[in-house]
A and B are shown apart, each in its own frame.
Chain A
Amino acid sequence: MPKRLVVVGGGAGGPSAAAKAKRVNPDLEVTILEGGEHVSFSA
């Protein structure tokens, strides 16, 4: 079973972590949670 990563927050740090983790380990199942309307607006 693939490992699961949950990222809480879709600003700058969250998507950076999600993207890098997925690049390094493509088998990882990645979910980003964001409460606002815009994602990664400052990254």
Chain B
Amino acid sequence: MVQITTGETLPFDYLTVATGATPRLPSVTGQDLEGIFCLRNVTDAIRLKSFIRQRNARRAVIVGAGLISLEVCEAFRRLGLETTVIYRRDLPLRRLGKDFAEQIVMELESNGANFLGDTGLESFEPTSSGAIIVHTSNGSLESDLVLIGIGVVPEVSLASEAGIELGPTGAIVVNEYMRTNFPFIYAAGDCCECFHRISRKPVYAPLGDIANKQGRIAGANIGGQNVLFPGIVGSLCFKVFDLEVASTGLTLEEAEKVGFKADSVTIQGVSKAHSYPGSRELQIRLVTDTESGRILGAQSVGGDGVVSRINALAVALTGGLSIEELAYMDLAYAPPFSGAWDPIHIAAQQLLK
């Protein structure tokens, strides 16, 4: 039975928990001040945009440097806001490697945004003019608005009250059918864990594309089919100004941490044939298991063509392909799209040496 806020109760034969995630919030003084926002849904976006317009905001501080924060940074700069990103670690997207993370910072700075690394949030203080002073471990900044983007936590309060099992990530445990520990209760999306096919571990990957797939599979099984969610390989991509960033599978550090004898190579390539107009530089890092020769992951940054490479490598990962197979893979080639040796080939060939 589900009890709802109108006081009614709804009986069910099957239940799907799709309660999503909520923004992680810092616990600092002044975090409830007007002008401090999170961005999770359409309502948040409308509220944020109308605040900028009504207050004629000129300055913004973004707390955190994840995907949402960096995408919002670009949007704020396009609106002409003076924008500073503060982050408690030295560099954003640190798991992709220092070299790639530094390129992200360069991209922010060359588009007029400020990035303050190793900067912890301490508190917010209102000013008499309605602005906000953001106190940090690295000095204080005055701003018209603040966006908090320090990640999300699975919304599992209802589920855990009902006795639904939570996993080590804090999200709901589901099996391949998207079933919880109750056979008639399913879960899907940002409130639940998923199985990482490369690390063979449950992970928390709150992304909309995964939520859609999990939901469809839960629904198919509730409807009477017998469909398995195969898990994820950890693919993601985003764009910040003119830089494309994408990743799939494990980084070298992650691969070593889960026990692989891993090796990696980083190559500099170009998105189209060298001579072709609009060709941009990109880098690919390929991670391999030195014992089996299998690919374990790939990360890439660059001006163009990053996501198509990472998507091809996500397929290779899913299929368990080896570096040797990748090195001579029959990828589609024409000068507007790659060199005769694609950056994927170049990286794989390098690892074979």
Q: A residues within 8 Å of B by Cβ?
A: 3-25, 28, 31, 33, 35-38, 41-43
Question: Contact between A8 and B189 (Cβ–Cβ < 8 Å)?
Answer: no
Q: A4-B11, A8-B158, A14-B188 are in contact. Are A21 and B19 (CB under 8 A)?
A: no
Report 26 cross-chain contacts, Cβ distance below 8 Å, ordered by A residue: A5-B222, A6-B2, A6-B14, A8-B16, A9-B18, A11-B18, A12-B18, A12-B20, A12-B190, A12-B212, A15-B215, A16-B213, A17-B188, A20-B215, A20-B223, A21-B16, A21-B219, A21-B222, A21-B223, A24-B223, A28-B222, A33-B10, A36-B41, A36-B43, A42-B208, A43-B211
Taking CB atoms, residues of chain B closer than 8 Å to A5 are 12-16, 222
Return the CB mask of B230-257 against A: 1 if under 8 Å, else 0.
0000000000000000000000000000
B contact residues, total (Cβ < 8 Å): 38
Question: Which secondary structure characterizes the binding site on chain A?
Answer: mixed
Q: B residues within 8 Å of A by Cβ?
A: 2, 4-5, 10-20, 41-43, 158, 186, 188-191, 208, 211-220, 222-225
Question: Contact between B219 and A31 (Cβ–Cβ < 8 Å)?
Answer: no
**Nearest B-chain residue to A20, judged by Cβ:** B219
Taking CB atoms, residues of chain B closer than 8 Å to A24 are 219-220, 222-225
Q: A5-B13, A13-B211, A37-B42 are in contact. Are A23 and B223 (CB under 8 A)?
A: yes
**Nearest B-chain residue to A26, judged by Cβ:** B223
Question: Contact between B224 and A16 (Cβ–Cβ < 8 Å)?
Answer: no
**Nearest A-chain residue to B224, judged by Cβ:** A25
Output the least CB separation between A20 and chain B (Å): 3
The 4 nearest A-B residue pairs measured at CB: A24-B223, A13-B189, A16-B215, A20-B219
Taking CB atoms, residues of chain A closer than 8 Å to B19 are 8-9
Which residue of A3, A6, A19, A41 is within 8 Å of B219 (Cβ)?
Answer: A19
